[in-house]
Amino acid sequence: MAVLWRLGRGSVGDVVAGMRKSRAVTYSTVQTMLRILESKGYVQHDKVARAFVYEPVVDERQARRRALRHLLKRMFEGSPSLLVLNILEDEELDPAERDQLRKLIERA
């Protein structure tokens, strides 16, 4: 998704090239991932000549929210506080992050 968000739209080959900068991937793996993302409503494609050209249907923020809702439901019994408590217990937060969280909680 990050590659498509950056490109705006691209073929499987474009996504493979964009991903190879950070990890080794194969064409067929990326093609499968894009099909799955399309079935879940994250991307759509158009056929251009012989290639499928994919583009994001949701932006980064929407995708993060969907993923977080899924994670909350499946791993944290739908409880945002349980998720936050796990993060606070298991992760080392720097003081700036902790202050930012405190301010967000006070506003909510």
Q: Calculate what percentage of the chain has a pLDDT beyond 70.
A: 100
Q: What is the pLDDT of residue 46?
A: 96
| Domains and their CATH numbers in the chain | 2-56 (1.10.10.10), 60-107 (no CATH)
Q: What is the pLDDT of residue 88?
A: 84
Secondary structure of 17-31 in HEC code, one letter for each residue: HHHCCCCCCCHHHHH
Q: What is the pLDDT of residue 84?
A: 86
Query: What residues contact 103, with CB distance under 8 A and at least 6 apart?
Result: none
Query: What residues contact 47, with CB distance under 8 A and at least 6 apart?
Result: 53
- Per-10-residue mean pLDDT, the chain, length 108: 95 94 92 96 94 96 94 94 86 86 87
Q: What is the pLDDT of residue 10?
A: 96
pTM score, whole prediction: 0.74
According to DSSP, the β-strands at 43-48 and 10-11 are unpaired
